[in-house]
Each structure stands twice: as structure tokens, then as C-alpha cells.
Amino acid sequence: MKNTFMQRKEDVVRNWYVIDADGVSLGRLAAKVATVLRGKHKPTYTPHIDCGDFVIVVNASKVNLTGNKLDGKIYYNHSGYTGGLRERTAREMKEKYPVEMVERAIKGMLPHNRLGRQMSKKLFVYAEESHPHMAQKPAKMEVK
């Protein structure tokens, strides 16, 4: 009888990937990055272990939004005080805070618990082409 393979956190091998978000749909990008951060692209995937890889997303300011989302999609923040609700459209987020927009989309697809917070620490998003992680020799990954 064969046992189901369960990876140990000590045995996890992490790779670095760089993804260019130029012209890529936000949802497709977020789904691909979330899969890699979780480790679901590996045959050694184990649900209760953070076995994912590091992901660098560049050109976040050039990500695509389809349909009427630029004006129709609204991002909400609340300060906790009365009347402290702040609303921003996707157009405003893309112009002023492109990194936060991409991070929110990706983190929304990760588990909402300790494991998800641990996975999100392996995500690095940059608005432009350059990034400071060249020493890790990241491999290019395409989003279809």
C-alpha cells in the first residue's frame, strides 16, 4: 500500500520567478501568481505547508483591466472612525497606486489565514521594469 506524499517544511526548495505584467489581464496575472506562491504548480504540493516559490512582478503600472472596470470597479478602505470610508476607482488606483492594486488582487486569491500571510511575504511587486533581486537569478515566467 502506497502512502500519500506529504512534504516537510525543511525539505522545501524555493525558486525565484519574475513575471512581466505589461499588457496582461489583472485577473489572469493574479491567478497565476497565487498558484506559484501556494506551490500548486509543483508535484510536491502539500496543503498545510508553505511550499511555494518567490515571485517578482514587474511593470505593475501597465497591467490591463477589461470591460468597464477602470471606472466601475471601486476599492474601499476604512480607517475605523465614523465617516472614515475612502473609495477609489480602479483608474485612480492604476495611476497612483499600481503596486497596491496588483498586491490586493493576488492576496485576495491566497488563503485568509496564517499560511496565506506567510505566502504573501514571498511576493514582490514593482511598478517599473527594474527590481533589486537580480542576485537571486530569477527565471522568467509567462502568463497566458
Smallest CA-to-CA distance from 38 within 30, 5, 141, 57 is with: 30
**Contact call for residues 53 and 14 (beta carbons, < 8 A):** yes
All domains in the chain, ordered by first residue: 13-65+115-141 (3.90.1180.10)
- pTM exceeds 0.85, yes or no: yes
User: Residues 6 or more apart from 45 whose CB is under 8 A from it?
Assistant: 7, 38, 39, 51
Cα–Cα dist 57/105, whole Å: 12
**In this predicted model, what pLDDT tens digit does every residue of 34-53 receive, in sequence order?**
999 999 999 999 999 999 99
Show the CA angle centred on residue 123, arms to residues 105 and 87, nearest 5°. 35
**In this predicted model, what pLDDT tens digit does every residue of 101-144 receive, in sequence order?**
999 999 999 999 999 999 999 999 999 999 999 999 999 999 98
